[in-house]
Structure 1
Amino acid sequence: MPLSDRFDLPHGTVALWKTDETEAELRTLCTAGECAYAAERFSSESRRREWLAWHAALRQIVPEAEPFYLPDGAPAIGNALRIGVSHTEGYAAVFVAKSACAVDIERKERDFLRAARRYLSPEEEALCAETAGALSPGLVWCAKETLYKLAGGKRTDLLRDIRIAGFDLCGPSIHSTVAGKPFRLGTIPHEELHIVFGAAERE
């Protein structure tokens, strides 16, 4: 299907794509170079579809985009724009902003408590309870994954270095820190997904 949702935000644009097309259909929405790259890089059809889907979503925001990868592996495009990418079963998301940015999506049905010891502190678990479920373990996971991507993933531990400090229902937004540095993340309500995004302050 075409773009599922588009969210124009103060810091950029998030595009959400529901990947119910076949690989052949997605290939018609991407460049020949992107199709060749996907075929060469990914042996799994599902991975090729995910990769092609976020490129199709990106072209809905920046039609002339030519994505490439930075030395640290993060995706980027020209025109002084940066992008964040995420995908989960059935969906792909792209966040386009003028500064370093990241987005993370996960299906709400996933059992996030199975990995709780790896990412969820007792203080964060208590915070989830205090918000009566508005801040859930799933949102905490997505927030920490978003911050991990923003930090470049280097020497950053989800439990030790990334902390969730508060949740603002008016945003809704998540207050957090990475190695003591404060970050404010945004969330987007969705029936099936947890969606969290963030952008670094422009220099």
Structure 2
Amino acid sequence: MPLYKTITVNPTTKVLIWKIIESYKDLSEGISLTPHCRERVDGMKSDLHQRGFMSVRHLLAEMGYTDFDLYYDELGKPHLRDGKKISITHSYTFSAIIVSNQEVGIDIEMQRPKILKIAQKFTPLEEYRTLANEDALIRKLTMVWGAKESLYKSFAEAGVSFLQNIYVEDFDMESMKTTANVSYKGKNEDYYVWFEEFEGFTGAYALISEKE
């Protein structure tokens, strides 16, 4: 069972990361799915997507949940029936969940040069002109993109723009953390964001800042 990493963010918030090395058949063993999720996974054309989907069910099991404890709202945001907050991600050979008492979001991205071509769609590029080389720029942009994806998942409002509504405070990459804000249609939320880098991937997870 390749549980790759467990991160305890605080006493009520935990991140679990899975490295997907098993076959779909092996990942399906011992896992029961709701009819809705069975239909979803059977309809996936990609074996990698199917394996990612099933690996998330193993992560749920690590936290004491089954697929029957999970449901999705009309926007596709996942929820747990016991009231705890959850966010889910999978990318190529890694998947992850974050479970908390507070609103959360999580994302995993592969570090790829392709991000240079789409950067202007999600962040002002002039913020990163001081970076020493292209590798550093790819690394930084992947972190920012992952942060914004995790914030988008947590905020969960249709129409939110990565460029216009989600702000990630600039950060020193070695610190592996930052703060962020999402503001849209009168709703305004502050977040803490942390990063993990592993095997050419970047993970980002966000936790809402509770208002005093």
* TM-score, normalized by the shorter chain, greater than 0.5: yes
Task: Give the Cα–Cα distance (whole angstroms) in 1 for the partners of residues 161 and 193 of structure 2.
Answer: 18
| Alignment deviations for residues 123-148 of structure 1 (CA, whole Å, 9 cap, x no partner) | 5324766xx94970110110111111
| Alignment deviations for residues 134-165 of structure 1 (CA, whole Å, 9 cap, x no partner) | 97011011011111112214221111111222
Matching of residue 156 in structure 1 with residue 160 in structure 2: yes
Q: Structure 1 residues 121, 39: CA separation in 2 closer, same or farther (over 3 Å shift)?
A: closer
Q: Is the 8 A contact 1:16 1:93 kept in 2?
A: yes
Q: Is the 8 A contact 1:29 1:56 kept in 2?
A: no
Task: Give the Cα–Cα distance (whole angstroms) in 2 for the partners of residues 201 and 136 of structure 1.
Answer: 23
Q: CA offset at residue 170 of structure 1?
A: 7.5
Q: Structure 1 residues 202, 44: CA separation in 2 closer, same or farther (over 3 Å shift)?
A: same
SS of alignment partner, residue 161 of structure 2: coil
Matching of residue 36 in structure 1 with residue 38 in structure 2: yes
Cross-structure match for 1:2: 2
Q: CA offset at residue 168 of structure 1?
A: 5.3
Task: Give the Cα–Cα distance (whole angstroms) in 1 for the partners of residues 179 and 41 of structure 2.
Answer: 40
| Alignment deviations for residues 55-114 of structure 1 (CA, whole Å, 9 cap, x no partner) | 111211224562111232111112221110111111111111112211011112353111
Structure 2 unaligned regions, length at least 5: none
* Bigger mean CA deviation after superposition, 143-152 or 55-64: 55-64
Matched to 1:142, the amino acid is G
Q: Is the 8 A contact 1:124 1:165 kept in 2?
A: no
Task: Give the Cα–Cα distance (whole angstroms) in 1 for the partners of residues 172 and 56 of structure 2.
Answer: 29
Cross-structure match for 2:140: 136
Q: Is the 8 A contact 1:100 1:200 kept in 2?
A: yes
Cross-structure match for 2:179: 175
Percent sequence identity over aligned pairs: 20
Task: Give the Cα–Cα distance (whole angstroms) in 2 for the partners of residues 79 and 157 of structure 1.
Answer: 31
Task: Give the Cα–Cα distance (whole angstroms) in 2 for the partners of residues 152 and 69 of structure 1.
Answer: 12
Q: CA offset at residue 36 of structure 1?
A: 2.7
Matched to 2:21, the amino acid is D
Cross-structure match for 1:113: 116
Task: Give the Cα–Cα distance (whole angstroms) in 2 for the partners of residues 42 and 21 of structure 1.
Answer: 17
* Bigger mean CA deviation after superposition, 172-181 or 88-97: 172-181
Q: Is the 8 A contact 1:13 1:96 kept in 2?
A: yes
Q: Structure 1 residues 163, 124: CA separation in 2 closer, same or farther (over 3 Å shift)?
A: farther
Q: Is the 8 A contact 1:50 1:92 kept in 2?
A: yes
Cross-structure match for 2:18: 17
**RMSD of the alignment, in Å?**
2.8
Q: How does 1:94-105 map to 2 (within 5 A)?
A: 94-105=97-108
Q: Is the 8 A contact 1:166 1:176 kept in 2?
A: no
SS of alignment partner, residue 9 of structure 1: strand
* Bigger mean CA deviation after superposition, 6-15 or 18-27: 6-15
Task: Give the Cα–Cα distance (whole angstroms) in 1 for the partners of residues 25 and 92 of structure 2.
Answer: 18
Cross-structure match for 2:192: 184
